[in-house]
């Protein structure tokens, strides 16, 4: 008979009786062995000794200390980590740590702060250093969310994207101020001709925002430049020369006619306007070049380098020194040079506002890469492994691509630090791959359903991060709320995701996070998870499986079944069959038996 059983009258035989099992039956295509599964401690408790002891009694071989709250983590006494390590050695279990859930990018509702990012880096590094006591002799995984509390952009499901449009709602960030601004697709009506509705995507609005802000900034230069031009309109060149002579001390004010001095003062006023324009131009040039460098925009960098040299030649500057004072002190020459500056940069606005994901990746990778390097410098090859987890969908860096980009950027930061301190680039890259990886949370990514993602599109997210995975979190939900149920209790497509994760996913430790199950049903989620994943009951990776467990339960009358069942004592006394009264059986109408310690009536 097949696993599904015969269908008779709408019923399947397997619904009534699961049948026996055969050791010849091949294992399922996807199964998870009990030895690779683990459970968490209660995240609400700092008493991890009690928590680990209770979880050990269930037979689990992997336990994750769930220190997700910074306050709870700091409430765990220092020596408790060492005691857990002793327990792990005695029982042969593997311990991991879920570090505090916090913003590691330095973002807040008010925007980005480098001070906040540096504080987060110190906390991540301290967590790694403290965690070493849990396993001083091995490379224990320490888990951190890629982003927490940062509102993420809402991407269109892949099936709805076009070459021009990827976002339904973009969160943009100003790279200077850190200010966040949401940009959504909008309908607008244009002035002029027939009124016609036009749709502008989030990407188009971002481009318009950068262009408008840049033109407004250039306008400040233009205002001061035009003021200088207006003043210089009727000024004879001789007064420009005398202004330069006065400025250089070659001419004394008392030697100048008052009427001439009035004209010279006009030149001085024009030069003051030029000075204000030049200050604005210096600031905008710095921004343009800095952002072009950050974006590896070689074309704009070359353009700005070329113009900087040309500007110097125009106003008499060479090698950052004034070589021709008469040209440098001539407002008209500066006005012409600034006009050219405006024309060049007007059509090449720097990207002041960028999508949050790229900016958050850049800042987060500094935190993780620097913290991992700090731990490596102290513990070398026995350093903890920092794994970066996708947070619930909706936060920044919660997609497969977002986590993968963060891991790779964090590794580059680690390599940069290591090479700077004398390590070869090849060795630095090898250590970066060893000590920085990804945690894939199957429940968190399933929450993309509420943004319109199909099951197939959610499964593909796992493929994007698969090569980097070192750790897996298992929880089930229905794609809308951040609930944590045992696998099989919701609609997370675990089997298909495990296929995408491949060998690394199957080898990785898989921690069951079932907080809502513990809260409402107050029982261990372990058996339910094993059944849902069709794990083999024994270690030979063959039948029977936990999914067949209900069929393996036998009733009392089908054999010995459960040994010493309570119903046996209630009906027959101490034996397994009805006994005569002289051998301890219960006499008819009697209220007791010999084995009860009461005389028979």
Instruction: Report CA-CA distances (Å) from 63 to 1, 7, 11, 373, 513.
Output: 40, 43, 41, 26, 11
- Three-state secondary-structure class, residue 271: helix
Alpha carbon dihedral 433, 436, 442, 445, in 10-degree steps, equals: -100
pLDDT of 148 > 70? The answer is yes
Q: How far is CA 114 from the centre of its chain?
A: 18
What does the alpha-carbon distance between residue 262 and residue 269 come to, in Å, rounded to a whole number? Answer: 11
Band (177; pLDDT cuts 50, 70, 90)? confident
Q: Which of 203, 226, 221, 209 is nearest to 344 (CA)?
A: 221
The model's confidence at residue 574, banded by pLDDT at 50, 70 and 90, is low
Q: What pLDDT digit, counting tens, does each position of 509-530 carry? A: 999 999 899 889 888 888 888 8
- Domains of the chain, CATH where assigned: 21-155+355-552 (3.20.20.150), 226-351 (no CATH), 556-596 (no CATH)
Transcribe 31-42 into DSSP letters: ---GGGEEEEPP
Model confidence pLDDT, tens digit, residues 220-231 = 999 999 999 999
Q: How distant is the alpha carbon of residue 347 from its chain centre?
A: 35
- Specify the range with the lowest mean pLDDT, choosing from 4-8, 132-136, 488-492: 4-8
185/183 Cα distance (integer angstroms):
7
Tokens of 366: 């500094």
Q: For the stretch 453-484, what's the b/e string if a residue is b when 16 or more beta carbons lie within 10 angstroms of its beta carbon? A: beeebbbbbbebbbebbbbbbbbbbebeeebb
**Mean pLDDT of all residues in 270-287:** 93
Per-position DSSP letters for 316-356, written without gaps between them: TEETTEES-HHHHT-HHHHHHHHHHHHHHHHTS---SEEEH
Instruction: Convert the pLDDT of each residue in 343-356 to its tens digit.
Output: 888 877 888 999 99
- What does pTM read for this prediction? 0.81
Six-digit token pair at 517? Answer: 């199950």
Task: Report the first-to-last Cα separation within the chain, whole angstroms.
Answer: 55
Spell out the alpha helix ranges (H) of 97-177. Answer: 114-131
SS (H, E, C) 41-58: CCCCCCCHHHHHHHHHCC
pLDDT, tens only, 378-430? 999 999 999 999 999 999 999 999 999 999 999 999 999 999 999 999 999 99
Average pLDDT over every residue of 494-505: 89
User: For 192-201, 409-418, 583-592, which range has the lowest pLDDT when averaged over its residues?
Assistant: 583-592
Burial environment of residue 411 by CB neighbours within 10 A (0 to 12, 13 to 18, 19 or more): buried
Q: How high is the pLDDT of residue 10?
A: 58
Rg over CA atoms, the chain: 36
What secondary structure letter does DSSP report for 596? G
CB 103 within 8 A of CB 150: yes
Residue 104 scores a pLDDT above 80: yes
């Amino acid at each position: 008979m097949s696993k599904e059983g015969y269908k008779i009258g709408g019923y399947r035989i397997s619904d009534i009786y699961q049948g026996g099992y055969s050791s010849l039956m091949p294992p399922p295509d996807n199964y998870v062995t009990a030895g690779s599964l683990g459970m968490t401690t209660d995240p609400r408790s700092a008493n991890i000794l009690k928590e680990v002891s209770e979880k050990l009694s269930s037979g689990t071989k992997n336990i994750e200390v769930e220190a997700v709250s910074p306050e709870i983590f700091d409430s765990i006494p220092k020596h408790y980590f060492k005691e857990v390590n002793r327990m792990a050695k005695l029982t042969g279990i593997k311990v991991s740590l879920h570090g505090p859930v916090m913003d590691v990018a330095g973002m807040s509702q008010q925007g980005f702060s480098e001070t906040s990012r540096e504080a987060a880096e110190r906390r991540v590094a301290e967590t790694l250093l403290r965690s070493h006591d849990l396993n001083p002799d091995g490379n224990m995984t320490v888990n951190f969310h890629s982003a927490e509390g940062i509102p993420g952009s809402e991407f269109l499901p892949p099936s709805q994207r076009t070459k021009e449009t990827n976002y339904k709602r973009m969160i943009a960030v100003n790279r200077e101020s850190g200010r966040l601004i949401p940009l959504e697709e909008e309908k607008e009506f244009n002035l002029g001709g027939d009124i016609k509705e036009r749709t502008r995507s989030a990407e188009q609005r971002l481009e318009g925002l950068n262009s408008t802000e840049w033109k407004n900034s250039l306008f400040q230069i233009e205002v001061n430049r035009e003021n200088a031009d207006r003043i210089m309109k009727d000024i004879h060149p001789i007064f420009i020369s005398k202004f330069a002579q006065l400025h250089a001390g070659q001419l004394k004010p008392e030697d100048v006619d008052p009427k001439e001095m009035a004209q010279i003062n006009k030149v001085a006023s024009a030069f003051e306007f030029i000075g204000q324009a030049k200050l604005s131009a210096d600031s905008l040039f710095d921004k343009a070049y800095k952002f072009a460098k950050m974006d590896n925009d070689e074309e704009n960098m070359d353009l700005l380098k070329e113009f900087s040299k040309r500007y110097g030649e125009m106003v008499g500057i060479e090698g950052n020194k004034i070589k021709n004072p008469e040209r440098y002190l001539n407002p008209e020459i500066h006005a012409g040079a600034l006009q050219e500056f405006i024309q060049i940069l007007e059509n090449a606005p720097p990207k002041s506002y960028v999508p949050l994901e790229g900016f958050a990746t850049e800042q987060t990778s500094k935190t993780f890469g620097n913290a991992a390097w700090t731990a490596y410098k102290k513990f070398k090859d026995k350093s903890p492994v920092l794994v970066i987890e996708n947070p619930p969908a909706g936060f920044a860096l919660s997609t497969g691509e977002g986590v993968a980009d963060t891991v790779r950027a964090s590794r580059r930061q680690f390599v940069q630090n290591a090479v700077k301190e004398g390590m070869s680039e090849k060795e630095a890259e090898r250590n970066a791959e060893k000590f920085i990886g990804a945690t894939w949370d199957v429940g968190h990514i399933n929450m993309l359903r509420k943004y319109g993602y199909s099951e197939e599109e959610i499964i593909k997210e796992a493929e994007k991060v698969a090569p980097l995975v070192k750790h897996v979190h298992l929880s089930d939900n229905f794609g809308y709320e951040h609930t944590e149920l045992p696998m099989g209790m919701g609609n997370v497509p675990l089997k298909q995701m495990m296929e995408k994760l491949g060998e690394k996913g199957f080898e990785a430790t898989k921690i069951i996070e079932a907080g809502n199950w513990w809260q409402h049903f107050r029982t261990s989620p372990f058996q339910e998870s094993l059944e849902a994943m069709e794990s083999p009951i024994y270690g030979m990776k063959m039948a029977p499986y936990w999914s067949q467990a209900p069929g393996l339960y036998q009733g009392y009358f089908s054999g010995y079944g459960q040994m010493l069942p309570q119903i046996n004592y209630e009906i027959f006394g101490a034996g397994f069959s009805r006994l005569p009264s002289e051998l301890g059986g219960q006499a008819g109408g009697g209220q007791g038996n010999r084995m009860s310690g009461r005389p028979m009536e």
